[in-house]
């Protein structure tokens, strides 16, 4: 049996979360084909082979260069039919989510989102998925012969020891009906670590007193190689853009380390971070509820502690 | 303009999540159920669009009779009529199938719902409905304006926003700040009582997935506390214990 993994390309580079999807697929099925669209930098394809794909279908058509949910879904549906793949794996994302749902309907496949672990195939096909915004899991039976899974970050570690993959140009049938949505422009932070992809996240809250104090958050994030996030009040007050809002109604993150500075830890914020492997909380109030959800805590003045922490991390990393 | 707004019946965001019946059922005791917060944004934007362009708003929910209070609340906020598909929302495919059926019969110009339900967080239904109807689906939508037959939309993507234009009809999964939540006033609450709420049986019972058992995450160990003078020790632990540096 073979599997297909959808690989997202961002400014010519392969998304790390997509390499998790390839690795996941290769843990489940022996033969994995990756499918991707648009221009990709030389060298990036090696990462896909290393993650476990033996073949890459490259949809190089100019019309597919820009992400297009409907056209990608049609092309992937076609690839499932031609390769006979019984499993499609995607990373959860603003592109992967809608594509996965449309492919599920096109191919009659069963779809499970937010999968957090490898499947249990001892009796049927069961996966664990995250529900109630990370507050619980559901062991879910996936019926039927065709399955689609979207992965939560860190569902599996990225393989790096695979062989190189054979690249094949893929020319799917294009349907005019799939090109009705016109993307007129994009606003995108460039050169930064993307929040949902980040392995370490540093977030600031109201305790920082104003947007002018974000420099120390950025310095700490830089020292850690982290992305920056914020609490809901901070984004509501426009101190920081909405795409940095971490929480129940914002971005849900699952990094190896989440650092919260000046965030008290309302249940809605915790819902966005409770899948983090380690949580460090810095807050002047030792009774802040966030400390109960933390692994490490520093009670004290953020304006004193954060610069000290940044220096200590720089020293540690040399 | 005919707008269909799909709402979910979910536990309040502050609810304690627990399970009963050997972890096969959600524990509803003491839990307050609400209109899904994202669905509430969709409904609020629908009310604004109706104010601007005229038309009607139908609310649909797939749920058992216990969901009627939130359907009445949606009617009080500004929907004109409602449909309840009388079935437990088994999985996203099942729900999408029911909604697509309602949508086909009503020939709506716009189908709005939240980006995801806050219980199962799948975020699949809008795209499934779009595919079933053969129309575009866009999510998560932060801004939605209609000019004639064209919609102008801002959609959140990783690290930013994408602006797009598309023709009606389509499906949108909504999130803040598309509109401000609306609180029903007394007149709305009174009139909601007499607005039509039609109850239909499901048209197709196929499900693609089934929950076998629920689990809660492992409890966190005790937090290790430091003060400003011992930051170095913390950094050692981040490196050697947490292994994140």
Q: Taking CB atoms and an 8 Å cutoff, what residues of chain B touch A296?
A: 223-226, 234, 237-238, 242
The pLDDT tens digits for B114-167 are 999 999 999 999 999 999 999 999 999 999 999 999 999 999 998 889 999 999
* C-beta of residue A63 within 8 angstroms of C-beta of residue A71: yes
Backbone torsions φ then ψ of A117, nearest 5 degrees: -150, 170
Taking residues B199-204, report their average pLDDT.
95
Q: Taking CB atoms and an 8 Å limit, are A94 and B122 in contact across chains?
A: no
Using DSSP's 3-state secondary structure scheme, residue A110 falls into strand
Chain center to CA of A251: 10
Q: Taking CB atoms and an 8 Å cutoff, what residues of chain B touch A292?
A: 220, 223
Residues 191-220 of B with CB under 8 A from A: 207-217, 220
First-to-last CA distance in chain A?
Answer: 48
With residue A167 as reference, give the H or E element that holds it.
strand A166-169
B182 in contact with chain A, both atoms CB, cutoff 8 A: no
Stated pTM of the model:
0.91
SS (H, E, C) chain B: CEEEEECCEEECCCCCCCEECCCCEECCCCCCEEECHHHHHHHHHHHHHHHHHCCEEEEEEECCHHHHHHHHHHHHHCCCEEEEECCCCCCHHHHHHHHHHHHHHHCCCEEEEECCCCCCCCCCHHHHHHHHHCCCEEEEEEEEEEECCEEEEEEEECCEEEEEEEECCEEEEECCCCCCCCCCCHHHHHHHCCCCEEEECCCCCCCCEEEEEEECCCCCCCCEEECHHHHHHHHHHHHHCCCCC
Q: Taking CB atoms and an 8 Å limit, are B223 and A300 in contact across chains?
A: no
Residue B20 has pLDDT above 80, yes or no: yes
The residue in chain B having the minimum alpha-carbon distance to the alpha carbon of residue A126 is B212
Length of chain A, in residues? 318
Look at residue A191 in the predicted model and tell me its pLDDT: 63
Q: Taking CB atoms and an 8 Å limit, are B164 and A182 in contact across chains?
A: yes
B158 in contact with chain A, both atoms CB, cutoff 8 A: yes
Look at residue B3 in the predicted model and tell me its pLDDT: 98
- Dihedral sign for Cα atoms in the order A48, A49, A50, A51: positive
Radius of gyration over every alpha carbon of chain A, rounded to an integer in angstroms: 21
CA pair distance B105, B125, nearest whole angstrom: 18
B157 in contact with chain A, both atoms CB, cutoff 8 A: yes
Look at residue A235 in the predicted model and tell me its pLDDT: 95
Q: What is the ipTM of this complex?
A: 0.93
From the list B17, B142, B160, which residue is nearest A135 (CB)? Answer: B17
Lowest pLDDT segment from A61-70, B90-99, B192-201: A61-70
Report how far apart, in Å, the C-alpha atoms of A259 and of each of A194, A198, A265, B158 are.
Answer: 16, 12, 12, 20
Closest CA of chain A from B13, distance in Å: 7
**Tokens 């994202």 correspond to what residue?**
B38
Look at residue B221 in the predicted model and tell me its pLDDT: 85
Cis peptide before B213 (omega within 30 of 0): no
- Tens digit of pLDDT at every position of chain A (318 positions): 899 999 999 889 999 999 999 999 999 999 999 999 999 998 899 999 999 999 999 998 999 999 999 999 999 999 999 999 999 999 999 999 999 999 999 999 999 999 999 999 999 999 999 999 889 999 999 999 999 999 998 889 999 999 999 999 999 999 999 999 999 999 887 667 788 888 999 999 999 999 999 999 999 999 999 999 999 999 999 999 988 999 988 898 989 999 999 999 998 899 899 889 999 999 999 999 999 999 999 999 999 999 999 999 999 887
Look at residue A196 in the predicted model and tell me its pLDDT: 86
Residue B203 has pLDDT above 80, yes or no: yes
Taking residues B6-12, report their average pLDDT.
97
Taking residues B47-66, report their average pLDDT.
97
From the list B137, B228, B245, which residue is nearest A300 (CB)? Answer: B228
Q: Taking CB atoms and an 8 Å limit, are B242 and A177 in contact across chains?
A: no
The residue in chain A having the minimum alpha-carbon distance to the alpha carbon of residue B142 is A242
Look at residue A318 in the predicted model and tell me its pLDDT: 76
Q: Collect all residues with Cβ–Cβ distance below 8 Å to A76 and sequence separation of at least 6.
A: A4, A6, A35, A88, A99, A103
A71 in contact with chain B, both atoms CB, cutoff 8 A: no
Residue B119 token pair = 């219980």
Look at residue B159 in the predicted model and tell me its pLDDT: 85
Using DSSP's 3-state secondary structure scheme, residue A312 falls into helix
| Secondary structure letter of residue A54 according to DSSP | S
């Amino acid at each position: 049996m073979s599997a297909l993994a959808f690989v997202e390309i961002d400014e010519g580079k392969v998304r790390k979360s997509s390499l998790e999807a390839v690795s996941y697929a290769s843990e489940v099925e022996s033969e994995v084909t990756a499918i991707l669209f648009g221009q990709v930098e030389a060298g990036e394809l090696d990462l896909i082979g290393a993650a476990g794909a033996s073949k890459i279908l490259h949809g190089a058509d100019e019309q597919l260069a820009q992400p297009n949910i409907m056209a990608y879904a049609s092309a992937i549906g076609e690839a499932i039919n031609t390769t006979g793949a019984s499993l499609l794996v995607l990373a959860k994302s603003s592109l992967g989510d809608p594509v996965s749902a449309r492919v599920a309907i096109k191919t009659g496949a069963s779809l499970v989102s937010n999968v957090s672990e490898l499947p249990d195939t001892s009796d049927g096909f069961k996966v664990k998925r995250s529900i109630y915004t990370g507050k619980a899991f559901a062991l879910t039976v996936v019926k039927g012969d065709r399955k689609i899974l979207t992965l939560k970050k860190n569902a599996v570690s990225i393989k790096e020891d695979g062989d190189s993959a054979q690249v094949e140009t893929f020319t799917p049938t294009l349907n005019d009906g799939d090109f009705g949505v016109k993307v007129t422009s994009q606003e995108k932070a460039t050169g930064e670590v993307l929040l949902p992809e980040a392995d370490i996240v540093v977030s600031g809250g109201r305790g920082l007193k104003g947007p002018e104090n974000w420099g120390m958050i950025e310095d700490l994030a830089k020292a850690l190689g982290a992305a920056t996030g914020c609490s809901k009040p901070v984004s509501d007050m426009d101190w920081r853009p909405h795409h940095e809002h971490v929480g129940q109604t914002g971005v849900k993150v699952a990094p190896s380390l989440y650092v919260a500075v000046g965030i008290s830890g309302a249940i809605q914020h915790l819902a966005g971070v409770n899948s983090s492997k380690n949580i460090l909380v810095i807050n002047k109030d030792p009774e802040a509820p966030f400390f109960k959800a933390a692994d490490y805590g520093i009670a004290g003045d953020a304006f004193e502690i954060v610069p000290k922490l940044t220096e200590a991390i720089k020293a540690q990393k040399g | 303009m005919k707008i269909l707004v799909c709402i979910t019946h979910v536990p309040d965001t502050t609810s304690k999540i627990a399970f009963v019946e050997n972890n096969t059922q959600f524990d509803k005791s003491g839990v307050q159920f609400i209109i899904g917060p994202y669905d509430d944004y969709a409904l609020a934007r629908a009310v604004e669009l109706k104010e601007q362009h005229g038309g009607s708003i139908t609310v649909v929910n797939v749920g058992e009779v216990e969901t009627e209070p939130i359907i009445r609340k949606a009617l009080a906020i500004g929907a004109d009529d409602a449909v309840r598909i009388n079935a437990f929302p088994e999985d996203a495919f099942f729900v999408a199938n029911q909604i697509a059926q309602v949508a086909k019969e009503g020939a709506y110009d716009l189908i709005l719902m939240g980006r995801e339900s806050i219980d199962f967080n799948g975020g699949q239904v809008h795209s499934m409905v779009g595919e079933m109807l053969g129309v575009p689906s866009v999510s998560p939508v932060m801004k939605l304006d209609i000019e004639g037959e064209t919609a102008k939309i801002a959609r959140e993507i990783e690290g930013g926003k994408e602006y797009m234009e598309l023709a009606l009809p389509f499906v949108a999964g909504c999130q803040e700040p598309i509109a401000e939540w609306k609180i029903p006033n007394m007149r709305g609450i009174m009139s909601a009582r007499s607005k039509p709420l039609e109850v239909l049986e499901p048209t197709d019972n196929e499900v693609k997935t089934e929950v076998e058992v629920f689990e809660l995450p492992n409890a966190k160990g005790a937090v290790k506390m430091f003060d400003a003078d011992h930051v170095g020790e913390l950094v050692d632990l981040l490196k050697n214990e947490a292994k994140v540096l």
